[in-house]
Structure 1
């Protein structure tokens, strides 16, 4: 079996796989850092403007000025639902049958889950690399040692010079596997914590949105009958 393979090629193949894992890990780390930073900036910017708006009509028009961020996308879907709710032909639509507040809440919660899925994309890959990289390195080490033992038994020599070199080279794969796994695991834990904070912020915004839409005498307080709000941007 081992006559068909070269020890160096076995270890090198493992190292190439680990190199690919490392590249993917650092690309994901850089991308998720940029994504969370950008999302946090736009969410804070829109939330501050939203809560400073004098009424829901003014808050809805803010979506025309900003289309980035997860908070604004949730707000746009909420305003779109409210705008359609006030239209006369909406009584025949199945999606408007039921208690209005629960229907609006369902729309906002569904959009929250969609935005959360986007922000968490790629984290599964980090977790997978963190859990499999050490085993890939160990596989290279085991195969390298097996090949080294086979060569020793074939040559009939077990001196330190013969044993130390091949086994030392094989152990490099395990060390690199651990080195690749550590940043992947740390990054996964960090970004999952950020994702939890992001989810909590979205839930807080949705709760506030549902609360203020019940503040006036009109249904949900949105006065859009005479001046419909344009809500095309940001979707």
Structure 2
């Protein structure tokens, strides 16, 4: 193979590693922002949720971008009934409602998990392949260097050190790209497991609260005064 093609292969490997490095750091920063935002929003929603007077009152919190908020709203939709329709008032319908609630909560947890998991496969792929891409460039770089040494007719250290050293740069770059990708992957997988456990615990608490509430809630709207009004409930002071 001509030295020109060998140089193109080495340069292609180096450019590929540079691209891998850019993608890695973009994903690292994007996931850092995502987890920081999710953590803050979940903390705020959790405080509001547990400060509510009842499960019915918690329906007035509305929906925001936090995973726990979306999970709670999925649960509210599964439990929502109008107090005047009499549904869910016996054990048979309560069991059906419980089964529906648990199924929809599980599905929403999977959706949140997949959202937080996005990008991790790319980090894992870069971390596992970058060293081999660097080694690939090094092999062809050494072949090119040995060809140049053969043409010069000398194998002294002055002649060998320069070309071989340049060829090994690709391996060093490959390792430098792989290390941040592997460390970031392990870190965010750990964060993902912690967040999944938090959502599971919240879902369990939600089911327990729903059980105490007869596996049904009435939607609440918020008055200008900030007090919730439950749809379907009889107003205070109304005639019997």
TM-score using structure 2 length: 0.83
Q: Counterparts of 2:83 and 2:68 in 1: how far apart (Å)?
A: 23
Name the CA shift for 1:228/1:200 in 2 (closer, same or farther; >3 Å): farther
| Structure with more helix by fraction | 1
Q: Is the 8 A contact 2:83 2:232 kept in 1?
A: no
* 2:207 paired with 1:214: no
1:10 aligns with 2:9: yes
2:74 corresponding residue in structure 1:
77
Q: CA RMSD in A?
A: 2.5
TM-aligned CA deviation for residue 4 of structure 1: 4.3
The 5 A counterparts of 1:68-147 are: 68-83=65-80, 99-147=96-144
Note the residue ranges of structure 2 that are not aligned, 5 or more in a row: 221-229, 234-240
Report if aligned partners of 1:74, 1:112 keep a CA contact under 8 Å in 2: yes
Cα offset, 1:153, TM superposition: 2.8
Inter-partner Cα distance in structure 2 for 1:182 and 1:115: 28
CA contact (8 A) 2:79 2:216 kept: no
- How far off its partner does 1:18 sit? 0.8
**CA–CA distance in 1 between the matches of 2:22 and 2:84?**
52
Distance in 2 between residues matched to 1:162 and 1:85, nearest whole Å? 87
C-alpha separation in 2, matches of 1:228 and 1:186: 53
Contact 1:215 1:221 in 2 (8 A): no
Distance 2:231 2:82 in 1: 14
**What is the CA deviation profile of residues 4-43 of structure 1, one whole-angstrom value per residue up to 9, with x for unaligned ones?**
4253x43322211111111111111111000000000000
Larger radius of gyration: 2
Q: For structure 1, list consecutive stretches of 5 or more residues without a partner in the other structure.
A: 230-235
Q: Tell me which residue corresponds to 1:165.
A: 162
Residue 212 of structure 2 aligns to a residue in which SS?
coil
For the residues of structure 2 that align with 1:11 and 1:85, how far apart are their CA atoms?
69
Pick the aligned partner of 1:223 from 218, 224, 230.
218
Using the alignment, how far apart are the partners of 1:39 and 1:223 within structure 2? Answer: 28
TM-score by length of 1: 0.85
